[in-house]
Protein backbone atom coordinates (compact mmCIF):
# COMPACT_ATOMS: atom_id res chain seq x y z
CA UNK A 1 0.00 0.00 0.00
CA UNK A 2 1.25 3.45 -0.82
CA UNK A 3 2.13 5.77 2.00
CA UNK A 4 -0.46 8.39 2.82
CA UNK A 5 1.09 9.99 5.89
CA UNK A 6 4.63 11.25 6.57
CA UNK A 7 4.79 9.38 9.90
CA UNK A 8 3.59 6.03 8.49
CA UNK A 9 7.02 4.44 9.05
CA UNK A 10 7.89 5.84 12.46
CA UNK A 11 6.03 3.22 14.53
CA UNK A 12 7.51 0.41 12.40
CA UNK A 13 11.04 1.82 12.67
CA UNK A 14 10.63 2.32 16.42
CA UNK A 15 9.55 -1.33 16.78
CA UNK A 16 12.45 -2.56 14.63
CA UNK A 17 15.24 -0.32 16.03
CA UNK A 18 13.98 0.93 19.42
CA UNK A 19 17.44 1.59 20.92
CA UNK A 20 19.06 3.16 17.88
CA UNK A 21 19.71 6.90 17.98
CA UNK A 22 17.42 8.76 15.60
CA UNK A 23 18.45 12.38 16.24
CA UNK A 24 21.40 13.68 18.22
CA UNK A 25 23.14 17.00 18.76
CA UNK A 26 26.44 15.22 19.35
CA UNK A 27 26.13 14.91 23.12
CA UNK A 28 22.45 14.21 23.65
CA UNK A 29 20.12 12.15 21.48
CA UNK A 30 16.71 10.55 21.19
CA UNK A 31 16.30 6.91 20.19
CA UNK A 32 13.51 5.87 17.83
CA UNK A 33 11.49 4.50 20.77
CA UNK A 34 11.89 7.77 22.68
CA UNK A 35 11.06 9.83 19.62
CA UNK A 36 7.91 7.82 18.99
CA UNK A 37 6.84 8.15 22.63
CA UNK A 38 7.32 11.94 22.54
CA UNK A 39 5.18 12.11 19.40
CA UNK A 40 2.39 10.24 21.17
CA UNK A 41 2.61 12.60 24.16
CA UNK A 42 2.55 15.79 22.07
CA UNK A 43 -0.23 14.41 19.87
CA UNK A 44 -2.27 13.37 22.91
CA UNK A 45 -1.83 16.79 24.48
CA UNK A 46 -3.12 18.50 21.32
CA UNK A 47 -6.18 16.26 21.08
CA UNK A 48 -6.97 16.66 24.79
CA UNK A 49 -6.94 20.43 24.24
CA UNK A 50 -9.19 20.11 21.21
CA UNK A 51 -6.49 21.38 18.84
CA UNK A 52 -6.96 19.57 15.52
CA UNK A 53 -6.15 20.57 11.93
CA UNK A 54 -4.59 23.84 13.05
CA UNK A 55 -1.14 25.40 12.76
CA UNK A 56 1.03 24.89 15.85
CA UNK A 57 4.08 27.11 16.26
CA UNK A 58 7.28 25.37 17.42
CA UNK A 59 9.71 27.92 18.85
CA UNK A 60 12.61 25.89 20.24
CA UNK A 61 16.36 25.67 20.08
CA UNK A 62 17.69 23.34 17.41
CA UNK A 63 17.62 19.98 19.21
CA UNK A 64 16.34 16.39 18.95
CA UNK A 65 13.37 17.59 21.02
CA UNK A 66 12.48 20.20 18.40
CA UNK A 67 12.24 17.42 15.81
CA UNK A 68 10.05 15.42 18.24
CA UNK A 69 7.81 18.48 18.61
CA UNK A 70 7.39 18.74 14.80
CA UNK A 71 6.45 15.08 14.50
CA UNK A 72 4.23 15.24 17.60
CA UNK A 73 2.27 18.10 16.09
CA UNK A 74 1.69 15.99 12.98
CA UNK A 75 0.64 12.98 15.05
CA UNK A 76 -1.93 15.20 16.72
CA UNK A 77 -3.42 15.91 13.29
CA UNK A 78 -2.02 19.44 13.10
CA UNK A 79 0.79 21.08 11.11
CA UNK A 80 3.93 22.68 12.48
CA UNK A 81 5.20 26.22 11.96
CA UNK A 82 8.89 26.44 12.89
CA UNK A 83 10.18 29.70 14.38
CA UNK A 84 13.75 30.11 15.56
CA UNK A 85 15.67 32.05 18.18
CA UNK A 86 18.01 33.25 15.41
CA UNK A 87 15.11 35.11 13.81
CA UNK A 88 14.81 38.77 14.75
CA UNK A 89 11.82 39.65 16.90
CA UNK A 90 10.09 41.66 14.16
CA UNK A 91 9.98 38.63 11.90
CA UNK A 92 8.72 36.26 14.60
CA UNK A 93 5.91 38.70 15.37
CA UNK A 94 4.87 38.89 11.72
CA UNK A 95 4.78 35.08 11.50
CA UNK A 96 2.81 34.61 14.73
CA UNK A 97 0.37 37.32 13.66
CA UNK A 98 -0.21 35.58 10.32
CA UNK A 99 -0.75 32.05 11.62
CA UNK A 100 -2.79 32.83 14.78
CA UNK A 101 -1.80 29.48 16.26
CA UNK A 102 -3.69 28.24 19.34
CA UNK A 103 -0.42 26.94 20.79
CA UNK A 104 3.26 27.83 20.84
CA UNK A 105 5.57 24.97 21.89
CA UNK A 106 8.79 26.38 23.36
CA UNK A 107 11.68 25.23 25.58
CA UNK A 108 13.29 26.65 28.72
CA UNK A 109 15.58 28.88 26.62
CA UNK A 110 12.89 30.40 24.39
CA UNK A 111 10.02 30.52 26.90
CA UNK A 112 10.50 34.13 27.98
CA UNK A 113 10.79 35.47 24.47
CA UNK A 114 7.79 33.45 23.28
CA UNK A 115 5.63 34.79 26.10
CA UNK A 116 6.72 38.38 25.49
CA UNK A 117 5.93 38.18 21.79
CA UNK A 118 2.54 36.54 22.33
CA UNK A 119 1.67 39.29 24.86
CA UNK A 120 2.98 42.10 22.65
CA UNK A 121 0.86 40.87 19.76
CA UNK A 122 -2.19 40.31 22.04
CA UNK A 123 -2.50 36.77 20.70
CA UNK A 124 -4.64 34.12 22.39
CA UNK A 125 -1.94 31.45 21.85
CA UNK A 126 -1.00 29.29 24.83
CA UNK A 127 2.73 29.00 25.43
CA UNK A 128 3.77 25.54 26.68
CA UNK A 129 7.24 24.15 27.32
CA UNK A 130 8.06 20.88 25.56
CA UNK A 131 9.29 19.40 28.86
CA UNK A 132 5.77 19.77 30.30
CA UNK A 133 4.63 16.96 27.97
CA UNK A 134 6.83 14.52 29.90
CA UNK A 135 3.91 13.51 32.14
CA UNK A 136 1.23 13.66 29.45
CA UNK A 137 -1.02 10.60 29.37
CA UNK A 138 -1.09 8.87 25.97
CA UNK A 139 -4.50 8.39 24.31
CA UNK A 140 -3.63 5.70 21.77
CA UNK A 141 -7.14 5.17 20.45
CA UNK A 142 -7.66 8.87 19.86
CA UNK A 143 -4.34 9.06 18.01
CA UNK A 144 -5.35 6.12 15.84
CA UNK A 145 -8.64 7.84 15.02
CA UNK A 146 -6.77 11.02 14.10
CA UNK A 147 -4.45 9.01 11.85
CA UNK A 148 -7.35 7.19 10.18
CA UNK A 149 -9.12 10.46 9.45
CA UNK A 150 -6.01 12.15 7.99
CA UNK A 151 -5.79 12.71 4.22
CA UNK A 152 -2.59 12.90 2.22
CA UNK A 153 -3.70 16.35 1.12
CA UNK A 154 -3.67 17.67 4.70
CA UNK A 155 -0.85 20.12 5.50
CA UNK A 156 2.38 18.99 7.20
CA UNK A 157 4.06 22.33 7.79
CA UNK A 158 4.17 26.04 7.02
CA UNK A 159 7.66 27.33 6.24
CA UNK A 160 8.19 31.06 5.79
CA UNK A 161 10.26 32.64 3.01
CA UNK A 162 11.25 36.20 2.16
CA UNK A 163 8.56 38.44 0.60
CA UNK A 164 9.23 41.63 -1.36
CA UNK A 165 6.48 43.56 0.48
CA UNK A 166 8.29 43.07 3.78
CA UNK A 167 5.81 40.43 4.98
CA UNK A 168 7.23 36.88 4.85
CA UNK A 169 5.21 34.29 2.92
CA UNK A 170 4.16 31.03 4.59
CA UNK A 171 4.40 28.08 2.20
CA UNK A 172 1.91 25.28 3.05
CA UNK A 173 2.98 21.75 2.02
CA UNK A 174 0.95 18.53 2.36
CA UNK A 175 1.78 14.88 3.12
CA UNK A 176 1.54 13.76 -0.51
CA UNK A 177 4.14 16.30 -1.67
CA UNK A 178 6.57 15.56 1.15
CA UNK A 179 6.28 11.77 0.80
CA UNK A 180 6.87 11.96 -2.94
CA UNK A 181 9.87 14.27 -2.53
CA UNK A 182 11.51 12.15 0.15
CA UNK A 183 11.03 8.99 -1.94
CA UNK A 184 12.60 10.48 -5.06
CA UNK A 185 15.46 12.14 -3.19
CA UNK A 186 16.27 8.97 -1.20
CA UNK A 187 16.32 6.91 -4.40
CA UNK A 188 18.70 9.33 -6.14
CA UNK A 189 21.06 9.80 -3.17
CA UNK A 190 20.83 6.19 -1.97
CA UNK A 191 19.75 6.68 1.64
CA UNK A 192 19.36 3.58 3.79
CA UNK A 193 19.65 2.31 7.36
CA UNK A 194 23.43 2.89 7.36
CA UNK A 195 23.09 6.54 6.42
CA UNK A 196 24.49 8.91 9.02
CA UNK A 197 23.40 12.46 8.22
CA UNK A 198 25.22 15.60 9.31
CA UNK A 199 22.50 18.25 9.27
CA UNK A 200 23.52 21.85 8.56
CA UNK A 201 20.23 23.53 7.62
CA UNK A 202 18.34 25.35 10.33
CA UNK A 203 15.11 23.50 11.11
CA UNK A 204 12.95 26.46 10.07
CA UNK A 205 13.76 25.87 6.39
CA UNK A 206 12.39 23.13 4.18
CA UNK A 207 16.01 22.12 3.49
CA UNK A 208 15.93 19.96 6.65
CA UNK A 209 13.29 17.66 5.09
CA UNK A 210 16.25 15.87 3.48
CA UNK A 211 17.38 14.53 6.85
CA UNK A 212 14.24 14.54 9.02
CA UNK A 213 12.02 12.21 6.99
CA UNK A 214 14.53 9.72 5.54
CA UNK A 215 15.80 9.20 9.11
CA UNK A 216 12.46 7.84 10.31
CA UNK A 217 11.67 5.98 7.10
CA UNK A 218 14.96 4.05 6.88
CA UNK A 219 16.01 4.03 10.52
CA UNK A 220 19.04 6.21 9.76
CA UNK A 221 20.68 8.63 12.21
CA UNK A 222 20.89 12.41 12.00
CA UNK A 223 23.40 14.57 13.85
CA UNK A 224 22.20 18.16 14.21
CA UNK A 225 25.57 19.87 13.92
CA UNK A 226 25.88 22.93 16.20
CA UNK A 227 25.97 26.22 14.30
CA UNK A 228 29.23 27.24 15.98
CA UNK A 229 31.07 24.28 14.36
CA UNK A 230 30.52 25.83 10.91
CA UNK A 231 32.74 28.80 11.82
CA UNK A 232 35.80 26.56 12.32
CA UNK A 233 36.59 24.27 9.36
CA UNK A 234 38.87 21.75 11.10
CA UNK A 235 36.49 21.50 14.07
CA UNK A 236 33.70 20.77 11.59
CA UNK A 237 35.58 18.00 9.76
CA UNK A 238 36.61 16.45 13.06
CA UNK A 239 32.95 16.51 14.11
CA UNK A 240 32.07 14.59 10.92
CA UNK A 241 34.78 12.03 11.66
CA UNK A 242 33.95 11.62 15.34
CA UNK A 243 30.34 10.75 14.53
CA UNK A 244 31.15 8.76 11.38
CA UNK A 245 28.93 11.02 9.30
CA UNK A 246 28.70 9.72 5.73
CA UNK A 247 26.03 11.91 4.14
CA UNK A 248 25.67 15.68 4.02
CA UNK A 249 23.20 17.95 2.21
CA UNK A 250 24.59 21.44 2.75
CA UNK A 251 24.46 24.92 1.30
CA UNK A 252 27.46 25.64 -0.87
CA UNK A 253 28.88 28.26 1.51
CA UNK A 254 29.24 25.62 4.25
CA UNK A 255 31.23 23.40 1.87
CA UNK A 256 33.46 26.21 0.61
CA UNK A 257 34.15 27.25 4.21
CA UNK A 258 36.04 23.95 4.44
CA UNK A 259 37.73 23.84 1.03
CA UNK A 260 38.71 27.52 0.84
CA UNK A 261 41.16 27.45 3.75
CA UNK A 262 43.14 24.36 2.72
CA UNK A 263 41.44 22.31 5.43
CA UNK A 264 42.02 19.10 3.47
CA UNK A 265 45.78 19.55 4.00
CA UNK A 266 45.16 19.22 7.73
CA UNK A 267 42.24 16.81 8.01
CA UNK A 268 39.90 14.99 5.61
CA UNK A 269 36.40 13.61 6.16
CA UNK A 270 36.99 9.87 6.58
CA UNK A 271 33.51 8.41 6.19
CA UNK A 272 31.79 10.85 3.86
CA UNK A 273 30.50 9.20 0.66
CA UNK A 274 27.42 11.21 -0.29
CA UNK A 275 27.47 14.98 -0.71
CA UNK A 276 24.52 17.01 -1.93
CA UNK A 277 24.65 20.76 -2.27
CA UNK A 278 22.54 23.56 -3.60
CA UNK A 279 20.84 26.88 -3.05
CA UNK A 280 23.61 28.72 -4.90
CA UNK A 281 26.31 28.25 -7.51
CA UNK A 282 29.25 26.08 -6.43
CA UNK A 283 32.44 27.92 -7.50
CA UNK A 284 34.21 25.43 -9.77
CA UNK A 285 37.63 25.78 -8.13
CA UNK A 286 36.13 24.93 -4.73
CA UNK A 287 34.07 22.08 -6.16
CA UNK A 288 37.20 20.56 -7.70
CA UNK A 289 39.03 20.75 -4.36
CA UNK A 290 36.24 18.67 -2.83
CA UNK A 291 36.19 16.24 -5.72
CA UNK A 292 39.97 15.74 -5.48
CA UNK A 293 39.88 15.30 -1.70
CA UNK A 294 37.06 12.73 -1.89
CA UNK A 295 37.36 11.05 -5.32
CA UNK A 296 35.08 8.13 -4.41
CA UNK A 297 32.22 10.20 -3.02
CA UNK A 298 29.16 11.20 -5.06
CA UNK A 299 28.37 14.88 -5.53
CA UNK A 300 24.85 15.96 -6.42
CA UNK A 301 23.58 19.45 -7.18
CA UNK A 302 20.00 20.01 -6.02
CA UNK A 303 17.64 22.74 -7.13
CA UNK A 304 14.11 23.71 -6.23
CA UNK A 305 12.13 26.36 -4.41
CA UNK A 306 10.29 25.93 -1.09
CA UNK A 307 7.02 26.36 -3.04
CA UNK A 308 7.48 22.93 -4.62
CA UNK A 309 8.21 20.95 -1.40
CA UNK A 310 11.95 20.66 -1.03
CA UNK A 311 14.12 20.28 -4.11
CA UNK A 312 12.88 19.22 -7.49
CA UNK A 313 15.83 18.81 -9.86
CA UNK A 314 19.21 17.13 -9.49
CA UNK A 315 22.48 16.80 -11.34
CA UNK A 316 25.13 14.21 -10.55
CA UNK A 317 28.43 16.08 -10.77
CA UNK A 318 30.67 13.09 -11.45
CA UNK A 319 33.85 14.64 -12.83
CA UNK A 320 36.17 17.60 -12.33
CA UNK A 321 34.85 20.78 -13.93
CA UNK A 322 36.60 23.15 -16.32
CA UNK A 323 37.25 26.70 -15.03
CA UNK A 324 34.51 28.28 -17.14
CA UNK A 325 31.91 25.58 -16.48
CA UNK A 326 28.76 26.06 -14.44
CA UNK A 327 27.32 22.96 -12.79
CA UNK A 328 23.83 22.46 -14.31
CA UNK A 329 20.57 22.22 -12.34
CA UNK A 330 20.04 18.97 -14.23
CA UNK A 331 16.80 17.01 -14.56
CA UNK A 332 13.62 16.84 -12.51
CA UNK A 333 12.99 13.98 -10.10
CA UNK A 334 10.31 11.54 -11.28
CA UNK A 335 6.76 12.86 -11.11
CA UNK A 336 7.75 16.48 -11.81
CA UNK A 337 8.00 18.40 -15.04
CA UNK A 338 9.97 21.55 -15.70
CA UNK A 339 8.27 23.80 -18.22
CA UNK A 340 10.28 26.75 -19.53
CA UNK A 341 7.87 29.54 -20.41
CA UNK A 342 8.76 32.50 -22.58
CA UNK A 343 7.27 36.00 -22.12
CA UNK A 344 4.32 35.08 -24.38
CA UNK A 345 3.55 31.98 -22.25
CA UNK A 346 4.67 29.49 -24.87
CA UNK A 347 7.29 26.82 -24.36
CA UNK A 348 10.91 27.88 -24.86
CA UNK A 349 12.62 25.86 -27.62
CA UNK A 350 15.87 24.01 -26.86
CA UNK A 351 18.58 26.59 -26.24
CA UNK A 352 16.05 29.40 -25.65
CA UNK A 353 15.64 31.03 -22.27
CA UNK A 354 12.41 30.92 -20.31
CA UNK A 355 10.98 31.11 -16.79
CA UNK A 356 11.38 27.85 -14.89
CA UNK A 357 7.88 26.58 -14.02
CA UNK A 358 7.13 23.39 -12.11
CA UNK A 359 4.28 20.94 -12.59
CA UNK A 360 3.28 17.93 -10.48
CA UNK A 361 2.18 17.05 -6.95
CA UNK A 362 5.35 18.64 -5.55
CA UNK A 363 3.61 21.98 -6.10
CA UNK A 364 2.47 23.15 -2.67
CA UNK A 365 -0.89 24.74 -1.82
CA UNK A 366 0.51 28.27 -1.84
CA UNK A 367 0.92 30.94 0.82
CA UNK A 368 -0.97 30.69 4.10
CA UNK A 369 -3.79 33.23 4.43
CA UNK A 370 -2.59 35.07 1.34
CA UNK A 371 -4.78 34.39 -1.69
CA UNK A 372 -3.41 37.38 -3.57
CA UNK A 373 0.27 36.49 -3.52
CA UNK A 374 -0.63 32.80 -4.04
CA UNK A 375 -2.54 33.68 -7.23
CA UNK A 376 0.45 35.62 -8.56
CA UNK A 377 2.84 32.65 -8.47
CA UNK A 378 0.62 29.53 -8.46
CA UNK A 379 -1.17 29.78 -11.78
CA UNK A 380 -3.16 27.74 -14.29
CA UNK A 381 -0.80 25.98 -16.68
CA UNK A 382 -0.90 28.48 -19.59
CA UNK A 383 -0.25 25.70 -22.12
CA UNK A 384 -3.89 24.57 -21.87
CA UNK A 385 -7.31 25.54 -20.50
CA UNK A 386 -8.90 22.08 -20.59
CA UNK A 387 -9.01 21.47 -16.81
CA UNK A 388 -7.62 23.18 -13.72
CA UNK A 389 -3.89 22.48 -13.35
CA UNK A 390 -1.75 24.63 -11.08
CA UNK A 391 1.90 25.18 -11.85
CA UNK A 392 4.40 27.25 -9.86
CA UNK A 393 6.28 30.06 -11.55
CA UNK A 394 9.69 30.25 -9.86
CA UNK A 395 10.83 33.61 -11.23
CA UNK A 396 14.12 31.91 -12.16
CA UNK A 397 15.19 32.11 -15.79
CA UNK A 398 16.77 28.97 -17.24
CA UNK A 399 17.51 27.10 -20.46
CA UNK A 400 18.15 23.50 -21.48
CA UNK A 401 21.67 22.71 -22.66
CA UNK A 402 22.56 20.37 -25.53
CA UNK A 403 22.39 17.33 -23.21
CA UNK A 404 18.91 18.24 -22.03
CA UNK A 405 20.11 19.48 -18.65
CA UNK A 406 18.41 22.51 -17.17
CA UNK A 407 20.80 25.41 -16.48
CA UNK A 408 20.20 28.47 -14.34
CA UNK A 409 20.54 31.82 -16.14
CA UNK A 410 19.27 34.64 -13.90
CA UNK A 411 16.33 36.03 -11.90
CA UNK A 412 13.34 37.92 -13.25
CA UNK A 413 13.14 40.30 -10.31
CA UNK A 414 15.09 41.59 -7.31
CA UNK A 415 15.26 38.27 -5.58
CA UNK A 416 18.80 37.03 -4.99
CA UNK A 417 20.51 34.04 -3.44
CA UNK A 418 22.81 35.09 -0.63
CA UNK A 419 24.72 32.61 1.55
CA UNK A 420 22.28 29.94 0.38
CA UNK A 421 19.18 31.91 1.34
CA UNK A 422 16.50 33.47 -0.81
CA UNK A 423 16.46 37.20 -0.23
CA UNK A 424 14.08 39.76 -1.71
CA UNK A 425 16.07 42.99 -1.90
CA UNK A 426 12.68 44.75 -1.75
CA UNK A 427 12.07 43.31 1.72
CA UNK A 428 15.27 44.92 2.99
CA UNK A 429 14.31 48.27 1.43
CA UNK A 430 10.81 48.16 2.92
CA UNK A 431 12.28 47.64 6.39
CA UNK A 432 14.77 50.49 5.92
CA UNK A 433 12.21 52.88 4.47
CA UNK A 434 9.91 52.31 7.45
CA UNK A 435 12.46 54.04 9.71
CA UNK A 436 11.75 57.70 10.43
CA UNK A 437 15.41 58.57 10.12
CA UNK A 438 15.64 57.31 6.54
CA UNK A 439 14.26 59.23 3.57
CA UNK A 440 15.07 56.85 0.74
CA UNK A 441 17.01 53.66 0.22
CA UNK A 442 17.96 51.13 -2.43
CA UNK A 443 19.58 47.72 -2.25
CA UNK A 444 21.74 46.14 -4.90
CA UNK A 445 23.66 42.88 -4.92
CA UNK A 446 27.25 42.53 -5.97
CA UNK A 447 27.13 38.91 -7.08
CA UNK A 448 30.88 38.72 -7.60
CA UNK A 449 31.86 39.78 -4.08
CA UNK A 450 28.65 38.31 -2.64
CA UNK A 451 27.71 41.52 -0.86
CA UNK A 452 24.33 43.16 -0.28
CA UNK A 453 24.92 46.89 -0.68
CA UNK A 454 22.45 49.32 0.85
CA UNK A 455 22.63 52.98 -0.20
CA UNK A 456 20.43 55.42 1.68
CA UNK A 457 19.61 59.07 2.32
CA UNK A 458 18.85 59.96 5.92
CA UNK A 459 19.84 61.31 9.32
CA UNK A 460 21.38 58.17 10.72
CA UNK A 461 24.93 56.86 10.67
CA UNK A 462 25.79 53.57 8.99
CA UNK A 463 26.56 52.01 12.36
CA UNK A 464 23.26 53.10 13.95
CA UNK A 465 21.29 51.90 10.95
CA UNK A 466 22.95 48.48 11.01
CA UNK A 467 22.14 48.14 14.70
CA UNK A 468 18.46 48.95 14.08
CA UNK A 469 18.23 46.52 11.18
CA UNK A 470 19.61 43.70 13.33
CA UNK A 471 16.31 43.77 15.26
CA UNK A 472 14.24 43.52 12.11
CA UNK A 473 15.97 41.33 9.56
CA UNK A 474 17.43 37.83 9.74
CA UNK A 475 21.20 37.63 9.81
CA UNK A 476 21.51 36.62 6.15
CA UNK A 477 19.41 39.60 5.02
CA UNK A 478 21.52 42.26 6.73
CA UNK A 479 23.30 44.51 4.22
CA UNK A 480 27.06 43.79 4.16
CA UNK A 481 27.85 47.32 3.07
CA UNK A 482 25.97 50.47 4.10
CA UNK A 483 26.51 53.68 2.17
CA UNK A 484 25.03 56.99 3.24
CA UNK A 485 24.65 59.52 0.47
CA UNK A 486 23.08 62.91 -0.31
CA UNK A 487 20.79 61.69 -3.08
CA UNK A 488 20.05 58.45 -4.95
CA UNK A 489 20.68 58.41 -8.71
CA UNK A 490 17.48 58.23 -10.79
CA UNK A 491 16.76 56.95 -14.29
CA UNK A 492 15.10 59.25 -16.86
CA UNK A 493 11.75 57.70 -15.80
CA UNK A 494 12.36 58.75 -12.22
CA UNK A 495 13.04 55.24 -10.91
CA UNK A 496 16.02 54.52 -8.68
CA UNK A 497 18.95 53.74 -10.96
CA UNK A 498 20.26 50.48 -9.53
CA UNK A 499 22.81 49.92 -12.26
CA UNK A 500 24.50 53.24 -11.44
CA UNK A 501 24.40 52.40 -7.73
CA UNK A 502 26.10 49.07 -8.27
CA UNK A 503 28.70 50.61 -10.58
CA UNK A 504 29.38 53.41 -8.06
CA UNK A 505 29.91 50.85 -5.31
CA UNK A 506 32.24 48.79 -7.47
CA UNK A 507 34.30 51.85 -8.35
CA UNK A 508 34.43 52.84 -4.68
CA UNK A 509 32.58 56.13 -5.22
CA UNK A 510 29.76 57.44 -3.06
Partner 1 sequence: MKELLEILEELHPEVAFEEETALVDDGILDSLDIVSLIGEIKRVFDVTVTAGDIIPENFNTVQAMMDLITRLEDED
Applying CB under 8 A, which residues contact partner 1? 227-228, 230-235, 253-254, 257-258, 260-263, 265-267, 419, 463, 466-467, 470, 475-476, 480
Side-by-side strand order, sheet with 366-367: 126-129, 103-106, 55-59, 79-83, 155-161, 169-174, 366-367
Give the nearest distance from C-beta 22 to partner 1 in angstroms: 25
Give the separation between CA 133 and CA 135, rounded to whole angstroms. Answer: 5
Parallel, antiparallel, or unpaired: how do β-strands 274-278 and 247-251 relate?
Answer: parallel
Give the nearest distance from C-beta 99 to partner 1 in angstroms: 28
CB-based contacts of 119: which residues, under 8 Å, 6+ apart?
none
Q: Which is nearer to partner 1, 87 or 103 (CB)?
A: 87
Q: Which is nearer to partner 1, 343 or 448 (CB)?
A: 448
Give the nearest distance from C-beta 225 to partner 1 in angstroms: 12
DSSP annotation of 301: E
Give the nearest distance from C-beta 460 to partner 1 in angstroms: 12
Give the nearest distance from C-beta 253 to partner 1 in angstroms: 7
CB-based contacts of 443: which residues, under 8 Å, 6+ apart?
414, 425, 426, 428, 429, 432, 452, 453, 454, 455, 479
Question: Are 498 and 113 contacting, i.e. CB atoms less than 8 angstroms apart?
Answer: no
Q: Which is nearer to partner 1, 231 or 371 (CB)?
A: 231
Give the separation between CA 98 and CA 86, rounded to whole angstroms. Answer: 19
Among 117, 60, 112, 115, residue whose Cα is nearest residue 90:
117
Q: Which is nearer to partner 1, 494 or 508 (CB)?
A: 508
Give the nearest distance from C-beta 262 to partner 1 in angstroms: 5
Give the nearest distance from C-beta 231 to partner 1 in angstroms: 5
Give the nearest distance from C-beta 455 to partner 1 in angstroms: 17
Among 497, 426, 425, residue whose Cα is nearest residue 165:
426
Give the separation between CA 130 and CA 127, rounded to whole angstroms. Answer: 10
Displacement of CA 418 from its chain's centroid (Å): 13
Q: Name residue 371's beta-bridge partners.
A: none
Q: Which is nearer to partner 1, 8 or 238 (CB)?
A: 238
Q: Which is nearer to partner 1, 260 or 339 (CB)?
A: 260
Among 401, 393, 303, 315, residue whose Cα is nearest residue 352:
401
Q: Which is nearer to partner 1, 283 or 489 (CB)?
A: 283
Q: Which is nearer to partner 1, 196 or 452 (CB)?
A: 452
E strands, 238-335, where?
A: 247-251, 274-278, 298-303, 313-316, 331-332
Q: Which is nearer to partner 1, 9 or 464 (CB)?
A: 464
Among 17, 105, 35, residue whose Cα is nearest residue 71:
35
Give the nearest distance from C-beta 119 to partner 1 in angstroms: 25
Amino acid sequence: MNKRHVLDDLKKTAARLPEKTAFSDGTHGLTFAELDAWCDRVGSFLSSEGIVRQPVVVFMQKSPEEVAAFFGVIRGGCYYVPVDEEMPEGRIRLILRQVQSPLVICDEETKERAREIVAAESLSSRVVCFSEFQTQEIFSETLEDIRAAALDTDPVYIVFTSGSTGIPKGVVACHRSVIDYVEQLSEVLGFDENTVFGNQSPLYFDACLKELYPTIIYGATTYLIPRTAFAMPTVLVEYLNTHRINTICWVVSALTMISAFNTFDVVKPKYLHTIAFGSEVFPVRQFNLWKEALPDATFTNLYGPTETSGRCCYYRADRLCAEDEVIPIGRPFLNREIILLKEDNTRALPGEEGEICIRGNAVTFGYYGDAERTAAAFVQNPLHDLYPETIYRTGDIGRFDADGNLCFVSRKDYQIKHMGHRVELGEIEVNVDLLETVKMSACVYDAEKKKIVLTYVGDVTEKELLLTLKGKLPRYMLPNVLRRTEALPLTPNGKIDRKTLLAAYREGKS
